[in-house]
Amino acid sequence: MINCNDLSKVFKKNDLTFFTGVPDSTFKDWMEFLADGNGLKNVIACNECEAAAISAGYHLVTGKIGVVYMQNSGLGKIVNPATSLLDKEVYSIPTIFMIGWRGEPNDLKGDEPQHKKMGRVMVPLLDVLEIPYGIMPDNIGDAEKLIFEMKNRAENNQSPVALVIKKKTFEEYVAQNKIETNYEMSREDAIKIVVDNINGNEAIVSTTGKTSRELFEYRVARGEKPRDFYTVGSMGCSSAIALGIALHDDKPVYVFDGDGAVLMQMGTLGTIGAYKPGNLQHIIFDNGSHDSTGGQPTVSTYVNFEQIALACGYNSAQTIYTKQELKDSIKILKERMGPNLLIVKVNKGARKNLGRPTTMPVENKEAFMEFFKK
């Protein structure tokens, strides 16, 4: 396994000191290392397209190569700037993609359903995109050779290349500069309060990661058959899914969202505000972090979601800090015409024994659709 400090020396030796992207749990230890600085510049972007563009701007002013990190699900998103901005047939901007290989076919333990297809097609997709790639070795000597080779290819071809990162490539690294939160509620606390205080006939669309996992487990704990729509992949799309539902059915629709997910697809707030579905209620559980990939910070502490939502046409927006405020706000929300937004400030982290949905995505979809029929 590779020591993060040793890897940073290799990157610095090759004058690769600027990193930007969306964090991935595959190389969360490297993400922790970057968060501490350690002589490297790091910009956590809201989505992969943005990261590619930030790296392009870095190259335009410095002439140097930026490193854009992502989970391989982000490779699908980055196809547009890879082919229409960075490609040698357009602006010819050398870039190194650092891609976490979720859903790797040779992973004996397997991965979650949402990662299997991309895990299988990632390498063929890189070939189709004509992006040279190398799989990062698990020792620093071979890794140094690969990074040197890929940097040279990016420079010589003046176009993107990729470093593919498998699980357990890096040694454990514990961040020195952890950002702590001290709110009254965890996200799981807040989810339970909302579920306990709505009427029970609402459709809930929950966002990617631990939010959906916590909602699923609470349904089971309440002795209910889970029948929400758990957006296990497609980060940032929950609010758009909910909008599509709300525009075609009168049933109350709630979105259980996350700050990172909202930031990734913030344009959806404008679409919701424009079409104004009266039965849509939007809740953001804001912990200022990408919780499911290791707790790396988002930029939500610098963003006023209230003002953004109101400017986009939401009827109301409010930030919640306590359990009682949340209970009171849910009572009001049930009687208020949507769309409305609640931003619920919660602590980072989750239970260590938090499980995953025990049903497959297709089963969840069918249960959700059956709920609407009833």
In tens, the pLDDT along 154-190 reads 999 999 999 999 999 999 998 887 777 899 999 999 9
Per-residue confidence (pLDDT) for residue 110, from 0 to 100: 78
Per-residue pLDDT reduced to its tens digit, 218-238: 999 999 988 999 998 899 999
In this structure, the number of other CB atoms found within 10 A of the CB of residue 334 comes to 13
Q: How many Cα atoms occupy the beta-carbon half-sphere of 93 within 13 Å?
A: 24
Going from the C-alpha of 258 to that of each of 39, 130, 193, 221, 363, the distances in angstroms are: 30, 35, 16, 22, 24
Residue 227 half-sphere exposure, CB side, CA atoms within 13 Å?
A: 17
Q: Confirm if 235 and 243 have CB atoms less than 8 A apart.
A: no
> Would you state the structure tokens that stand for residue 348, as one six-digit string?
């980072």
Give the pLDDT score at 113: 84
pLDDT at 108 over 70: no
Residue 359 or residue 316, greater confidence: 316
User: Tell me: the pLDDT tens digits for 254-306?
Assistant: 999 999 999 999 999 999 999 999 999 999 999 998 887 777 889 999 999 99
Percent of the chain at pLDDT exceeding 70: 100
What percentage of the chain exceeds 90 in pLDDT?
A: 85
223 φ/ψ sector (left φ>0, alpha ψ -120 to 50, else beta): left
| Mean pLDDT value of segment 200-222 | 94
Average pLDDT score over residue span 17-29: 94
Q: Which residues in the chain are classed under CATH 3.40.50.970?
A: 4-165, 187-373
Q: Under a CB-based contact definition with an 8 Å cutoff, are residues 186 and 347 in contact?
A: yes
Q: Write down the pLDDT at residue 179.
A: 75
Burial category of 323 from C-beta neighbours within 10 Å (exposed 0-12, middle 13-18, buried 19 and up): middle
Q: Among 81, 171, 197, 169, which residue's Cα sits nearest to residue 131?
A: 81
**CA end-to-end distance (rounded Å), the chain:** 53
Single pTM value for the model: 0.93
Residue that the structure tokens 């006023």 belong to = 304
Domain spanning 187-373, CATH class: alpha beta
What does each C-alpha distance from 259 to 112, 187, 299, 363, 369 come to in angstroms? Answer: 22, 12, 9, 27, 27
Q: What is the DSSP letter of 257?
A: E
| CA-based nearest residue to 242, from 211, 204, 201, 286 | 204
Higher pLDDT, 9 or 37: 9
Q: Which fold has domain 4-165?
A: Rossmann fold (3.40.50)
Q: Is the pLDDT of residue 312 over 70?
A: yes
* Residue in 227, 252, 257 with CA at minimum distance from that of residue 239: 257
For 56-93, the pLDDT digits (tens) are 999 999 999 999 999 999 999 999 999 999 999 999 99
pLDDT above 90 for 121:
yes
Per-residue pLDDT tens digits for 31-58: 999 989 899 999 999 999 999 999 999 9
Q: What angle do CA 51, 57, 63 make, to 5 degrees?
A: 120
Cα–Cα distances in angstroms (integers) from residue 348 to residues 94, 181, 355, in the given order: 36, 7, 17
From start to end of the chain, where are the E strands?
Answer: 18-21, 41-44, 66-71, 95-100, 133-135, 161-165, 203-206, 229-230, 253-258, 280-286, 289-290, 296-297, 316-320, 340-345
Other Cβ atoms within 10 Å of 143 Cβ, number? 19
In whole angstroms, give the CA distance from residue 137 to residue 144: 9
13-17, 224-228, 242-246: least confidently modelled range: 224-228
Q: Closest Cα partner for 245 from 294, 283, 203?
A: 203
Q: Give the residue-averaged pLDDT of 114-143.
A: 96
CB 185 within 8 A of CB 346: yes
pLDDT of residue 277: 98
Which tokens in the block code for residue 122?
Answer: 């990632």
- In whole angstroms, give the CA distance from residue 219 to residue 226: 6
Average pLDDT of every residue of the chain: 94
